[in-house]
Amino acid sequence: MTELKTELKEKIIEILNLEDISISDIDDNDALFGDGLGLDSIDALELIVMLDKDFGIQLTDPKEGKEIFKSISVLAAYIDAHRSK
# of chain residues touching another protein (CB under 8 A)? 18
Residues 54 to 83: which contact another protein by CB under 8 A? Answer: 61-62
Q: Please pick, from the candidates 11, 14, 45, 67, the single residue that binds another protein as defined by CB under 8 A.
A: 45
The whole-angstrom separation of Cα 58 and Cα 50 is 10
Please state the φ and ψ torsions of residue 73, each to the nearest 5 degrees.
-60, -50
Q: Which is nearer to another protein, 2 or 60 (CB)?
A: 60
Contacts 24+ apart (CB under 8 A), 15-19: 15/46, 15/47, 15/50, 16/43, 16/46
Residues that bind another protein (CB under 8 A): 15-20, 38, 40-42, 45-46, 48-49, 52-53, 61-62
